[in-house]
Amino acid sequence: MNSISERAQKLIFDREFANSELTMHEDHPRVKWLKEFSEYAAEQKLCGEVAECGVFRGNFAYYINKYFFKHTLYLFDTFEGFNAVDIKTEKSLDDPDFESGRFGEDRSHKAFRGTNEKYVLSKMPYPQKCVIKKGYFPETAKDIKEKFCFVNLDMDLYQPMLEGLRYFYPCMKGGGGGVILMHDFFNNDLPGVKKAVVDFEQEAGFKLAKMPIGDGCSLAVINL
């Protein structure tokens, strides 16, 4: 791959991420859903903390922190882009939708690198309520004993999304329940997200209670 094509790909990624940052506002369907769910969680006295796995620049984490301001927000991310092992696993699934999408053809290792912990924390309205967990998930969650009432899984790839369900779904029991948001479930470029849900259901031996939230992208997994 020559330097011109690499530069072109970087510009495309940067433009897409800049656009997503501009469009993540309070009228965004996902943000509106989050606000309403936070109000519902408070009314129902759902116990537990909140988390996001796959933080990138903190655009959605900002709203989690804003609306769940009484809760500790755990922020899980490598802050260095995709893990090479997870990319290898994704490619082994041999799904043409992934290979032909914007993360295929060896473009994955260039994504999600333009961020760091300090930048993310600087955007948070209540940074004192945030806990950064930098590194490879689920290893970064081994020391956490919390219950959770809301988690946004936005790690894009099959293996980390499956591990997210494995870890957080049991963490909602005993606290009144909660919701795990599976971002990119309806994104054809990232078919591993849907496969993670299907495979988790097969492992668990039951169907999850789940529904779209109206943003054209995310699936809510409900655990009561």
Q: What is the mean predicted confidence (pLDDT) over 211-218?
A: 97
CA–CA gap between residue 210 and residue 24 (Å, rounded):
24
> Which amino acid does the sequence have at 135?
G
Q: Residue 198 has what DSSP assignment? A: H
Ordered DSSP codes for 10-58: HHHHHHHHHHHHHH-STTSHHHHHHHHHHHHHHHTT--SEEEEE--TT-
- In total, how many domains does the chain have? 1
Structure confidence at residue 98 (pLDDT): 76
Q: Are 182 and 156 in contact (CB under 8 A)?
A: no
Q: Please, which residues have CB within 8 angstroms of residue 31's CB and are 6 or more apart in sequence?
A: 24, 25, 60, 63
Q: Are 176 and 223 in contact (CB under 8 A)?
A: no
Q: Within a 10 A sphere around the Cβ of 214, how many other Cβ atoms?
A: 12
Q: Are 153 and 210 in contact (CB under 8 A)?
A: no
CA distance readout (Å), 30 to 90, 177, 185, 202: 26, 20, 13, 28
Q: Please, which residues have CB within 8 angstroms of residue 118's CB and are 6 or more apart in sequence?
A: none
Q: Please, which residues have CB within 8 angstroms of residue 42's CB and are 6 or more apart in sequence?
A: none
pLDDT at 142 over 50: yes
Q: Residue 221 has what DSSP assignment? A: E
Q: Return the minimum-mean-pLDDT range out of 31-45, 88-102, 184-198.
A: 88-102
Domain containing 196 equals: 3-223
Furthest C-alpha separation in the chain: 56
Both ends of the chain: CA-CA distance in Å? 49
Q: What is the mean predicted confidence (pLDDT) over 47-59?
A: 96
Predicted confidence (pLDDT) per residue in 163-183, tens digit: 999 999 999 987 678 999 999
> Which amino acid does the sequence have at 20?
S
pLDDT, the chain, mean: 87
- CATH number of domain containing 182: 3.40.50.150
